Amino acid sequence: MAGEIVDNNGRGEAAWHWPSIHPEGRKFALIAAAASAVCAFLAWETLAWPLGALVLCILAFFRDPQRVTPQSDRAIVSPADGLVTLIQQVPPPRELSVDDGSGAVALGTESVTRVSIFMSVFDVHINRAPIGGTVRRVVYIPGKFLNADLDKASEENERQHLLIDRGDGLLIGFTQIAGLIARRIVPFVKPGDILAAGQRVGLIRFGSRVDVYLPQGTSPKVLLGQKVIAGETILAEIGEQRLLEGVIQ
C-alpha cells in the first residue's frame, strides 16, 4: 500500500502485484488497440496481430510499479532504472551551475562526480527524485537524438535539467536526456514544488539516460555496469568517500 512504512526488522507487508500503467501511456495503448480491432474486423490479420503485440509492448513500457524508498538523511537514491554506464569527474551543466537571474541557488562550477544511468526500452521510464526537497530549477534544452549511451549526449541531446534543494545546504542536480529513439521528456514537477525522496518527477519516452551530479566529497556506492532501480537503489551516501571494486561474473 502506497505510503506504508516498512523496515528491516520485518514491519509492514509485502506482496507481488501487477504494476499500474501511467496515464501518459494509456492513450497510445488505446490507439494501438483500436487499430488492431479495426484490422481484425477487416480480416487484415497480418496487421491485427502485430498491432495487438504493440499494445502489450506499450503497456510494458509505461508500467509504473511501486517502489520502497530508503528513508535516510544521508542517502541519495537512483532517479532512474537502468545500467550505470559512466562515472566521471565533470563540471556541472551550465544551466545548474550559474546564477540564472532568478535568485535561485546553483551547484557552482567546481567538478563533481557524475553518474550516468542508461535506460533501455525494457526499463521502467518513470524518473524519481534522488532526495527530498524543493525544486529550484527545471530547465528544458532542445537538441539532437544521439545514442544516449554516448558521453557527448550530455551536451548535445534534448535534455531537461532539474535541481533540488533540501534546505540545509544540500543541492542535487540531475538531467533527463532523450536518446536515439526517445522523442519527448515529460515533466511532472515545476520550480517551487516540494518533493519527497523517491517521488515521481517525470518520464522519458523510450530509450534514454539520466545523469546525477553528486555533491563534492561524496563517492558513488554503485559500480560501473551495475543495474540500479529508481527510488530504491542508494547511489551514494552524503560525505562518504571510498573505493569500491566489483567483479563481473
Catalytic residue among 120, 154, 208, 219: 208
Active site residue 208: yes
| Distance in angstroms (rounded) separating the CA atoms of residues 144 and 142 | 7
| Distance in angstroms (rounded) separating the CA atoms of residues 57 and 223 | 30
As a residue count, the chain comes to 249
CATH number, domain 75-237: 2.70.70
Q: Is the dihedral of CA 186, 57, 206, 149 positive or negative?
A: positive
Which residue ranges make up each domain of the chain?
20-64, 75-237
Which of 210, 162, 208, 164 has its CA nearest to residue 184? 208
Strands 133-141 and 234-237: unpaired
Looking at the DSSP assignment, which residues form a beta bridge with residue 76?
Answer: 236
Residue 32 Cα to chain centre, angstroms: 26
Number of Cβ within a 10 Å radius of residue 69: 19
- pTM for the model stands at 0.87
Joined grid coordinates for residue 244: 569500491
* pLDDT given for residue 8 in this prediction: 85
Which residue numbers in the chain have pLDDT < 50?
none
